[in-house]
């Protein structure tokens, strides 16, 4: 199956109903995408398909044929969200972090706190606390808007 993965064309062989999450981790070796609940409740496995945030535990591999997939690795190693999540202590155990950051990366830089909260409603964090996460996203947005 051919698709674009983090801006590079790839051809990956995997069963068509395998979950995108498993294909990314097992076939593509991209383990930044985490499995939390495995049933679409927690958002830990969020990636972007054609720019839209989806939970990769609920996407059959066949449905990304010809699409563009972006994972946490695709944001590179020097991203504003990454730095602000560190600076604001927006991560503790870190399992929810890649999903939080992928959703945050879809937000406009002028997103209000309420818009950030709604966007992250499908991303559960059980240790850091949401305030630090919201703060990290707001700081990254402020930086991007400058």
Binding site residues, other proteins, CB under 8 A? 15-19, 22, 38-41, 43, 46, 52-55, 57-60, 62-63, 65, 103, 118-124
- Which is nearer to other proteins, 57 or 132 (by Cβ)? 57
Please report, to the nearest 10 degrees, the dihedral formed by the alpha carbons of residues 120, 74, 40, 125 taken in order. Answer: -50
Smallest separation, CB 81 to other proteins (Å)? 17
Cα separation of 20 and 39, whole Å?
13
3-class SS at 1? coil
Smallest separation, CB 19 to other proteins (Å)? 7
Smallest separation, CB 22 to other proteins (Å)? 7
Pairing type for strands 46-49 and 68-70 reads: antiparallel
Smallest separation, CB 78 to other proteins (Å)? 26
- Which is nearer to other proteins, 35 or 92 (by Cβ)? 35
Stated length of the chain: 146
Contact 102, 46 (CB under 8 A): yes
H-run or E-run covering 86: helix 80-87
- Which is nearer to other proteins, 59 or 133 (by Cβ)? 59
- Which is nearer to other proteins, 32 or 122 (by Cβ)? 122
């Amino acid at each position: 199956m051919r698709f674009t993965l983090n801006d590079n064309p790839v051809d990956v062989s995997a069963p068509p109903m395998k979950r995108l999450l498993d294909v990314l981790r097992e076939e593509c070796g991209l383990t930044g995408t985490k499995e939390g609940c495995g049933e679409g409740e927690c958002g830990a496995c969020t990636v972007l398909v054609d720019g839209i945030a989806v939970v990769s535990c609920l996407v059959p591999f066949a449905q990304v044929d010809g699409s563009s997939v972006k994972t946490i690795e695709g944001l590179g190693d020097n991203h504003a969200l990454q730095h602000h999540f560190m600076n604001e202590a927006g991560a503790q155990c870190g399992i929810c972090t890649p999903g939080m950051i992928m959703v945050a990366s879809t937000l406009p830089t002028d997103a209000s706190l309420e818009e950030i909260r709604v966007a992250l409603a499908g991303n559960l964090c059980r240790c850091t606390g949401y305030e630090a996460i919201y703060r990290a996203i707001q700081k990254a947005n402020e930086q991007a808007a400058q």
